Amino acid sequence: MLLGGFGRPDAGLILSTLTQMLGSGPTDRAGGPEMTAPQTSTDETAASAEPTSASGPAEEDARLDDISEDLRDAFGAGAAEKDEAALHLVVLRDVALVSALLSLFGAAEVWATVSGLAFPALLSTVDGFLVGAATGGLAHEWGHFAGARLAGGHAPLKPANRLFPIFDFDYVNNDKRSFDWMSIGGNLAHVAVVLVYLVALPIRSPGAAALVGGAVGFAVFSSIIEIPVIRKSLAGMNGLEALGTIPSNFVQRTLPWAVGSALLIFLVL
């Protein structure tokens, strides 16, 4: 009944409609425009697939900046504007100190030589190691001070009632030249102490050999720590950054070499 009411369908019309639908391309169900997937360029795909590194130059610079800030706080905050003691008073103090140390060692040496006893010989040997290291350390400090001042750096003396350090160094505001001269001066000074002892003293007793050994031990201790810093600074690294490369456990790492060197020189001489 329904089909009869609408009439028989025209086969030609149906075929024409199907042909138009097939030739017009894919459409969505609502008859809207063609839907295409967004294309991603090869460069964007490669960039997204490429892994990112854990640390780059920017992070490296940030770490160095952090080290610099820490070192500024540690080394640059307390430098006085001028000397806190007269130079001649500090020189007189340290000359008296070195004279007293060497006199104690000399007294022990004479006692050991005259008496021929084991205890004075042991005492002069112990004194020799201690006095050699102490005089080397004091000369090292004055070498640092002389190098800084000769290079025009700001290095005010500390009060005379404070032994070490004898001066402050303005690590932040001093130039690279004064840092290099300061660093090299200390190492030249402790080497000079060893040479003076070798030339000026006849090495005929355990005490004299221990004196040289103590000076050599300090020289080795200080040089192992400071020579890498000097080399980095001479190569262009900032002085504070070069100091930042010193390991935190430098005493534990360096002391065995210093003691071993002192004992070796003692046995050889």
Angle at which helices 176-200 and 206-234 cross, to 10°: 160
For residue 99, give the 3-state DSSP assignment.
helix
Chain CA centroid to CA 198, Å: 33
Among candidates 201, 209, 206, 221, which has minimal Cα distance to 261? Answer: 221
The secondary structure element, H or E, covering residue 116 is none
Burial (CB count <10 Å: 0-12, 13-18, 19+), residue 40: exposed
- What pLDDT, on the 0 to 100 scale, is given for residue 22? 44
Q: What is the pLDDT along the chain (269 residues), one digit of tens a residue?
A: 444 444 444 444 444 544 454 444 444 444 444 444 444 444 444 444 444 444 444 544 444 454 445 555 666 565 788 999 999 999 999 999 999 999 999 999 999 999 999 999 999 999 999 999 999 999 999 999 999 999 999 999 999 988 888 999 998 889 999 999 999 999 999 999 999 999 999 999 999 999 999 999 999 999 999 999 999 999 999 888 899 899 889 999 999 999 999 999 999 99
Whether residue 230 contacts residue 185, with contact meaning beta carbons closer than 8 Å, is answered with no
Which two structure tokens, joined as six digits, stand for 236? 């262009």
Residue with tokens 């390991």: 247
Whether residue 75 contacts residue 238, with contact meaning beta carbons closer than 8 Å, is answered with no
For residue 204, give the 3-state DSSP assignment.
coil
- What pLDDT, on the 0 to 100 scale, is given for residue 71? 55
**Would you tell me how many other CB atoms lie within 10 Å of the CB of residue 145?**
23
- Spatial separation of the C-alpha atoms in residues 207 and 108, rounded to whole Å: 8
